[in-house]
Every structure is written in C-alpha cells, then in structure tokens.
C-alpha cells in the first residue's frame, strides 16, 4: 500500500511491519541522504534475523524494490498509462517453505526496537484478515492460492531499505518479495518471464485490495516486479501491457532527485477514495467504463478535450449534480486527460533521446529531448495541485525551490498530501539543489526533507 491508496499508509508501522532504515548520511546543516544498503548487507541482515527467530536456515533470499513514478499520477485506477521506475532501495526477505499452512513472519524494527512477529494459518486468512502489516504477507499467499496455485506456508524474515512515509511503495515491495519467493520455492511458474510476473503482480493487487482492504490500481506491484535496469516502465493500466522505455540520463549528464517532504499526512484516508469516486462518477456520466476512455474520445487535441469537458458539464448538471460538484468533476477529468498526454509526451522524448534522433524545444540532440521532460514534470505538478487537488504546501515548496535552484522540472509523486516529489536535475548539482530545497522547507516552517538518488534499477530478484 502507498500514500496514493491511503493518505496515512506508509507512515503507520503496521503498513510496513517495521524495517531496517536506509542509511541517512548528513553533516550538520547539510541535506540528509537516504542511501540504499548494498544488496549483500540487506541479505545478511535478513538471514541473521531469520536465524534469530526461526530454527534452521532459510531456503533462499529475495529482494523487491520500491518505485518512484516519473509521470502519470492517479491514472492507474482510471485505466491510463503510467511511467514508474524501480529504485535501488528494496525490501529483502529470507524465506523457507512449509507444507502445513503455517505462516510465520518476523519483520525488522526501526530505531532499534523489538522486531514485529506474526504467526497464523492460511485457513484463517481471507478478506479483512489478518489486519495490519501481516495482511501484505499472508494475503499474498492467500491470493496465490485463490488463483489456483498450490501454496503451503512459509517462515520468513523481512528487512527493508525502502523509506517509509515517502510514497515510494514500501508495502508493494513487501508483497512482491513474498510473491516471488513463494513462486520460486513452489515452482509456480517461470519467475523470470514477464507474463508470469504480471500474474504475481495481480495476486499482490488482490491481496492488497481484499485482504488488506486498501485500494490499489496496480502500478506499484507492476513496477516492483516488471521494471528493468536503466529503463522506466510504461504500463497500460487497462490491459497490463508494458513497454520498457530507455532512461538514458547518466550518459547525458542528467539525474533524478527524489525529495521526501517528511510531511505528516493531514488528510483523512477518504481523500484517495474521493478522488477515485469522482473519476468513476465522471466516467459514468460520460457513458464510459473508465475515464481513460474519455481520453480516447478527446482525440489528443485541446478542442477535443474541451468538448469532452463541456459534455461532462451538461451530463452532470442534467443528473442533478450541484454547480460545485460539476466543476469538481470537470477538474478531475481535465487532469486525467492532460496527464495522459504528458505520459505520452515523456515516453516520446525519452525514446527519441535514446535513439539519438531528437529535435526538441530546447534544441537538437538527446540532451535537448531529456531537458524537455522537465517542463512536462512541472506541468504535471500544476495539474495535480490545481485540478486534482492532491498537493500540499510542503510539496509545493520543495518543487518550487528545486526549480529555483536549477532543476529542469519537478513534480509531486505518489498519492499526494505529503510524501515525495521528483526533480530532473543536471548531474553533479544534486547536492546544491538538495541544499536549496532543505533551506526553503525549513524557512517555510516545514519538516526537514530527506533526499535520495533515483537510479533506474531492476525489478524483484533472488539474491541467494
């Protein structure tokens, strides 16, 4: 689960079940960097945790990454395209198969506290049970069994370097590492094949929706399982089809900077639900199953988009919606239409940059096309702030400060109301941009942000 699905999700200990934090590096007055632990160190920690709680040895160690969404916010449940990339920060699990239906899981605690332990039986797992972080573990086994796979129990020990509360999908990483481990140990399918990984992602989505009872559109699970190194993942949320989009940033002197506002989620859990409900209502009024169909109706032109919005105004008014509600539905729909166009634009720019045949607004060549992504990110943030209304002062400040410090563009990422923003920057300027963002946040009276480098990383894998 992620803030996109629940405004307080990753900030609750129950959502992640406790974790080994990323290593914060800072000097007094300097930005705090959340560095991903080396895979070997995380694997060692998981093995040690396993040995300290369960007799014997684990059968293996698996890893699943968190993600940052480059563009395409709140489009997954609307059937639109999204463009996430996997992070080097991951959740790691040492797992041993059981045949008796018993599930035993220990999850490392933050800040030196006692590890969290859960034990139960698969016969007791189902919609709404268990509650808390264990739902994201036991629920995956239940969902795989519901899909027709032969699933026994597991003993597991989990650690994580995915920052909690940052909107970077720590809970999806937990689901996906369990799914991959169980599939590997049970020989449920070809775990290196993308088609089977799509099935695993679907099981993780079902676990989150039905067992954890947290609404998810499926982007996070697809990213954790299906991303590849040095690429972003273009996911068609309606069909599940994916395209690996090259992300040639480093070779052209560019980088992605993630800025965790560390802002408390001041909105109730219903904010995500209200956005989704508005989208579903708008689609219904337009006679569509998903709001993405309104994008197709708009035809990719400004005139077409306005025609759709005018038709929505008329249909909503005729259905008895009040004036304020009508304009709310229009704003939500305008975001979905414009954000979809931005996803297509970014995919086109990155693909052209990788091919070396690019003529962009900024000039000719790969660098020009990459730099042209920046203003698209900024336009996305404006849409989320003004039309989808999911930003907050902390997010607005860090995005503005990053751009003022030389970032080529910045936008909030994830569900909003807190969490993180992502900025496209010139390589070598990360420290300067982070320092400026930190200073601006503190001057505004906001929490001190933390930072991480978003290196496009591979999806879930077996480490040992």
The angle at the Cα of 315, spanning 310 to 320, to the nearest 5 degrees, equals 130
| Class of the CATH domain delimited by 9-247 | alpha beta
CA distance 5 to 251: 35
pLDDT band at residue 14 using 50, 70 and 90 as cut-offs: very low
**Each residue of 111-136: pLDDT tens digit?**
455 799 999 999 999 999 999 999 99
* Residue from 220, 260, 371, 387 carrying the catalytic annotation: 220
> Mind listing the pLDDT tens digit for each residue in 409-426?
999 999 899 999 999 999
How much is the pLDDT for 93?
98
| pLDDT tens for each residue of 343-383 | 999 999 999 999 987 776 767 789 999 999 999 999 999 99
Computed over every residue of the chain, the mean pLDDT equals: 92
The pTM of the full predicted model, rounded to 2 decimals, is 0.93
> Looking at beta carbons, which pairs linking 9-13 to residues 24 or more positions away fall under 8 Å?
9/171, 9/214, 10/164, 10/165, 10/166, 10/167, 10/168, 10/170, 10/171, 10/419, 11/164, 11/165, 11/264, 11/265, 13/110, 13/116, 13/133
Sequence spans of domains, the chain: 9-247, 255-453
pLDDT of res. 23: 53
276-286 per-position pLDDT tens digit:
999 999 999 99
**Cα 254 from chain centroid (whole Å):** 22
- What pLDDT does residue 139 have? 99
In this predicted model, what pLDDT tens digit does every residue of 317-331 receive, in sequence order? 999 999 999 999 999
State the Cα–Cα distance between residues 260 and 448, nearest whole angstrom.
9
CA atoms of 291 and 285, how far apart (whole Å): 10
Q: How do 81-98 and 60-71 pair as beta strands? A: antiparallel
**What residues does 236 pair with on adjacent strands?**
81
111 neighbors 369 (Cβ within 8 angstroms): no
Per-residue pLDDT averaged across 58-65, rounded? 99
Asked whether the beta carbons of 305 and 296 are under 8 A apart, the reply is no
220 is known as an active-site residue: yes
Point out which residues pair with 61 in neighbouring strands.
Answer: 94
Mean pLDDT confidence for 51-59: 97
pLDDT computed for residue 18 by the predictor: 42
Tell me the fold of 255-453.
Alpha-Beta Plaits (3.30.70)
**Per-residue pLDDT at 26:** 61
Which of 387, 410, 411 is CA-nearest to residue 275?
Answer: 387
Tokens of 139: 């629920």
**How confident is the model at residue 166, as a pLDDT?**
85
């Amino acid at each position: 689960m992620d803030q996109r699905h629940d405004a307080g999700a990753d900030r609750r200990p129950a959502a992640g079940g406790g974790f080994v934090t990323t290593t914060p590096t800072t000097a007094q007055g300097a930005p705090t960097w959340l560095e991903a632990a080396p895979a070997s160190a995380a694997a060692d920690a998981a093995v040690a945790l396993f040995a300290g709680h369960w007799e014997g040895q684990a059968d293996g160690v698996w890893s699943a990454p968190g993600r940052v969404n480059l563009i395409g916010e709140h489009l997954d449940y609307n059937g639109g395209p999204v463009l996430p990339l996997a992070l080097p920060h991951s959740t790691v699990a040492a797992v041993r198969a059981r045949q008796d239906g018993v599930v035993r899981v220990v999850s490392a605690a933050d800040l030196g506290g006692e590890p969290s332990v859960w034990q139960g039986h698969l016969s007791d797992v189902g919609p709404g049970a268990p509650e808390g972080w264990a739902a994201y573990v036991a629920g995956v086994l239940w969902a795989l069994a519901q899909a027709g796979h032969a699933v026994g129990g597991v003993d597991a020990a989990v650690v994580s370097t995915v920052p909690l509360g940052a909107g970077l999908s720590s809970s999806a990483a937990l689901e996906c590492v369990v799914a991959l481990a169980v599939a590997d140990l049970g020989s449920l399918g070809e775990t290196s094949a993308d088609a089977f990984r799509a099935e695993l992602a679907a099981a993780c989505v079902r676990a989150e929706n039905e067992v954890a009872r947290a609404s998810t559109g499926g982007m996070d699970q697809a990213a954790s399982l299906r991303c590849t190194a040095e690429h972003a993942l273009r996911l068609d949320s309606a069909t599940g089809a994916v395209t690996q989009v090259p992300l040639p940033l480093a070779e052209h002197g560019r980088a992605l900077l993630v800025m965790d506002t560390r802002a408390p989620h001041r909105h109730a859990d219903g904010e995500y639900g209200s956005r989704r409900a508005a989208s579903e209502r708008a689609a219904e009024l337009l006679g569509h199953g998903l709001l993405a169909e309104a994008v197709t109706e708009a035809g990719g032109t400004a005139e077409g988009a306005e025609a759709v919005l005018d038709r929505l105004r008329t249909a909503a008014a005729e259905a008895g919606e009040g004036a304020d509600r009508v304009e709310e539905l229009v704003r939500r729909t305008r975001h979905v239409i414009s954000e979809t166009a931005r996803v297509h634009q970014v995919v086109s720019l990155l693909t052209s940059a990788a091919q070396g045949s690019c003529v962009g607004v900024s000039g000719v060549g790969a660098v020009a096309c990459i730099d042209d992504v920046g203003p698209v990110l900024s336009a996305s943030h404006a849409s989320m702030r003004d039309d989808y209304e999911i930003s907050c002062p902390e997010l607005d400040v860090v995005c503005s400060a990053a751009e003022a410090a030389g970032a080529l563009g910045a936008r909030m990422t994830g569900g909003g109301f807190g969490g993180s923003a992502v900025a496209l920057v010139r390589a070598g300027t990360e420290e300067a941009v982070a320092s400026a963002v930190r200073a601006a946040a503190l001057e505004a009276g906001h929490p001190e942000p933390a930072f991480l480098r978003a290196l496009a990383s591979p999806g879930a894998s077996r480490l040992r």
